[in-house]
Amino acid sequence: MSTISDAARMIVEQAERGLPIVAFTGAGISQESGVPTFRGGGGIWERYAPEEVATAEGFFRDPARSWRFHEELRRTCLAGKPNMAHIALAWMENALRSLTNCPVITQNIDGLHQAAGSSDVTELHGSCHRVRCVECNFADEDLPAEFPELPPRCECGELLRPDVVWFGEQLPHGSFDRARLLAESAGVMMVVGTSATVQPAASIPIAALQHDVSLIEINPVCTTLSELIDVTIRDVAGAALPELAERVGQLLNGAGDSECKRE
Ligand code: NAD
């Protein structure tokens, strides 16, 4: 029996008990959309030092440099379309709708789960498609294709910053607590495309484990979580998740209408 069949059976069994099927995703799920991972070669991280552009200290030292990095990242995210992995998760949510919920907890800031149609997405690290003022309560998610000048400023005169979580910062109010609750109440957690090294996000699958939630890992390489995982699928997400969704569909519907295809 292949691991994909094991994973599909596990998902359907838990969904039939009414337990949520949660996905916990990282940069790897968007790699096939052209959004580079931190640790992969050829990405924008090779040209910017994270401590200079993705920390509060780096931002306030040189806001224009930090903004140039974030604008490049935003353009990359806007150019990237949801890939078959994002689409398969949204498809599974629909297929399992009458049985249970399929929330997504993501470390990504690219908005690709929402673009694929997932309706319940908790963004642990914010979104590159939103800004907020460093001083007042102003926040905006209707951003121009390009800011006329960098750094952009709020009407109050202070700096605007991307609404993302930088290294050393607290996670957005409520999102970490919600993610923990989702993890602890899940039937299955699919851990997709994350090295599980960035804290406190990496504690979310551990919280699931501590509540006896079954874990499925989808990643082409071993991670620090791998030895704790129930079912490991050593493949890229864009290949593994559509196949998994299709098997789930077959278990739910018999051999019939279960193909997970790009719209
Ligand atoms: P990471 O870069 O630490 O790890 C990426 C993981 O994805 C690796 O384990 C790698 O083996 C795996 N991977 C690579 N290609 C894959 C594929 N096609 N299918 C499945 N897995 C694949 O990423 P992280 O764990 O998410 O942590 C890095 C931090 O940087 C997070 O906060 C993350 O959100 C952020 N980040 C986000 C984006 C984005 O929004 N798309 C991009 C880069 C970094």
* pLDDT confidence band for 36 (50 / 70 / 90): confident
User: Which ligand 1 atom is at minimum distance from the Cα of 40?
Assistant: 2
Is residue 188 within 8 Å of residue 10, measured between CB atoms? yes
The pLDDT value given to residue 256: 46
User: 41-55, 110-124, 215-229, 235-249: lowest mean pLDDT where?
Assistant: 41-55
Q: Which of 113, 125, 129, 211 is catalytic?
A: 125
Residues 19-48: what's their mean pLDDT?
Answer: 85
Q: How confident is the model at residue 1 (pLDDT cuts 50, 70, 90)?
A: very low
Distance from Cα 28 to the centre of ligand 1, integer Å = 4
φ/ψ (deg, to 5) at 172:
-55, 145
**Residue from 29, 37, 203 to probe ligand 1 pocket by mutation (most atoms less than 8 Å from CB):** 37
Q: Which amino acid residue places its CA nearest to atom 8 of ligand 1?
A: 195
Evaluate if residue 52 carries a pLDDT over 60: yes
Catalytic, 125? Answer: yes
Confidence band for 262, pLDDT divided at 50, 70 and 90 = very low
d(CA 53, CA 162) in angstroms, rounded, equals 11
Please report where in the chains the tokens 């609404």 appear, as a residue: 163
Average pLDDT, rounded, for the chain: 93
169 Cα to the center of ligand 1, angstroms = 19
pLDDT score, position 45:
72
Q: What is the mean pLDDT of residues 46-68?
A: 93
Ligand 1 centroid from CA 196, angstroms? 9
What are the respective helix, strand and coil percentages of the chain, to the nearest 5? Answer: 40, 15, 45
Report the pLDDT value the prediction gives residue 17, as an integer from 0 to 100. Answer: 98
Model pLDDT for residues 179-213, shown as the tens digit of each residue: 999 999 999 999 999 999 989 999 999 999 999 99
> Which of 45, 32, 13 minimizes the C-alpha distance to 239?
32
Comparison of pLDDT for 253 and 144, the residue scoring more: 144
- Is the pLDDT at 102 greater than 50? The verdict is yes
